[in-house]
Structure 1
């Protein structure tokens, strides 16, 4: 009996030791001495489960923190171990080591006067130190960066200036400025944030655009470099649509990269300058890096599965208005009830099977009470008689509830511009959503400024477009125009080139946005 207890005790201890050896481990605020900076540099490190019980080597990701934070930020606020452990456990990513260096307030570059050569320290000392003291794969393919805000700048500028060192990067909410922003920013804040690093303290306007600044500006680097220089660099940029200054600069950077045909991923999601957004970005950001480490094409972002029934409860019907035919959807109970309904008007040139697919999805959301019962009327992209003929007919003959609050509009592709122009008629529509819209930006800008944001504040706008679609500049400029005028809207950029499969995956959020405004 005693022998049996000893055996069980030995097995219990062995299991405990094995479990401990198979847990991920985080070590905070370790130190490395830098000869280049003449001081200790703190860093935190997260080692994957199994590190102590194997002889495996691992890819390494350098996690960079924002201005005012330190080497513990990604551990505490970013929850990097929790998120990465779960992703490894689910088979979404390969195990990897995370290093979080102390970044001070230096934007991860060398200072113009040579007083603080942080980037030299990073490349010449930190990376060799990590590769000498931890089992990391010491080649370009297995090194990457992730960072937020100031760290987003670092996560991008380090690979741009050292494309032979890193294979991939995930910059989040990049604290970067266009030249226009850089030249006009408040002198007090500018001197402290930028002038001390890139030179030009006490200057304003073009005098701030020093040669040293150009050498360290992602805009100037990308604009002046041969695009082939970055053909092997994997870039995944993520930003929040509620950002202030960074809404403009990140969007302009995306447009520049597209114009230069430099491959990259670009996302804009709901949120501002906050850790919630950056934590959520890790789900796809880590998948992106994992694929790069394995030299595989990116699998793509995780998209929630859409549960759509194969058969309609109500079919798409054709109605006549002023001698023209339109396809019309009505919810269950329309024929037998005397109640009135909100109407969603959709400008598009979709084929009937695509319209039926959309109606199937809308019907499902109505049945699950996620959106209210409503009618849908499909109208051509170039329809000119919506306000003066179609709406009065719908409200007089087809049980449409009267009043702008019960009218919503969606524009798809070429129908996007017509939807925007229609919605810019004050208090005619409660909301307007556009998907991969195309058109004349100057026409939209003129109409918006002529009418004035104040007159349109009761109409909500929603803009969604694919990051690799042809209309990236048109949609991005409308977003920046609205942000410049502090005009409320929601803006999304998601993965893809556009087309109907992309649209159907993006439709749900916009429909719920519309429903919230109808029943606000």
Structure 2
């Protein structure tokens, strides 16, 4: 009598493991790039090689480490310059030989040869005149052929180096960072270690860079993406990171203080070089970052809170007069005050998805002025969106967009003014067609804005409609809060009356919608799921589909109501099963607080012979689960 489906998301469990890993925050110390006369030094030479690609002799700089011997074999790092530089740019401004010499002295580096080529593959390869000339820019792409077919063979002929990808690395800054990602990720059989420092717009889009994610997971030992927080090119690194995370490709996303300059790139070389040609613990990659990225839920231009790659959150607030400041986000954290009156703290890793939080200032919970606020927890509270990589169905895309409309109305049931949020699909105002309707209910402590704001209903439906995966529909999101508790019969009856006597008539009077049960569905999360069970099952003449997300009859608080419901089902089982095309029940895995009650309810449904489909999506009692529920449930409707 039931269908059971489960969806497992391994990446969530990887993140959970990362949250337990040892904290690692690495940044170059003072003096890391200062010449020390009292230590062994490597050697820097300029070499020439013939390039069949360019049909001329070309130059490169080669650094060999202290103690270099032709009797030993070495791995090689190919280190690329920016659009305004040449083979000497790193030497002139970055001091790589000093940085590496100092690291060898501290025994932090695997011995390696570093090759600094000219990445502008043309006969006149000097950085003169208009460096943005299209011919010169194209020469940076041509360098891939020069690198693979001319320079690498020359180095492997003249130097005692290993010739497998596990001993070959490619990294670069700015334009060279884009080259490193383009060439390195495009040739995983050549390079096992790839680093992009402040990668420039020459970087291919992630979909082109990594068309086959599984190949990189298997072949690449280290993929490093870094950028300064004040660099206008951060968007290049961020979009690459987000794509890699979404496709579960292990990598380091390293955000640091600074702009587009050698202060940043020298630090990148310092940290990146220490990871090369050593055993790699990919589960610790999320810990390598100095700064995080401002949350998408921050108000405009607010730098904090910041989210680190491993989902720790950094908070900073200026409150010089406060005596005690903290944060309540999946646990309470005390903040520390500096001499300027600025308070800071970094939390433990926070699970992906949307979370409410509060600042605690001298014991009073307050909304963070740097964050958007949402109605949740029974009040206005700050909200933070922790990146969730279970899919891109709730991400904005270039597709036709519907609208969220707000309609105020006076309710004869509650004797008060209320609001309903209404999603209308793309093209609603430009057609005469009538649409089916999904009535979608929020959870406890939230209101009619929940599905529109926290739930991203419009984004999810727009994407599904554009992909032709759902029938275009209106989604009506009413206020399910009544003047009586939702878990008692009075509250349940009152909402039933509100929906049947006020909301549905209002929608069917003012919007172009179908008015039969075949074109109506009802769904809700948590408290809204209880309303769906109560109102929906007793009114199958009104609805052809019900969706219950993270909910179930709460036995100790609702035994009387539940028993009445089960008696009703027992007496009307045939009609309910006949009327409902879809009875869809979902839980957020065992960590969902409604999970056990839900399973008890399903056991009772089995005994009664009620037909349903059951679905689990791990993640708990959280918005990522409910967004996924909507994404899975909507395509089942009105077919």
TM superposition score normalised by structure 1: 0.49
Higher Cα Rg, which structure: 2
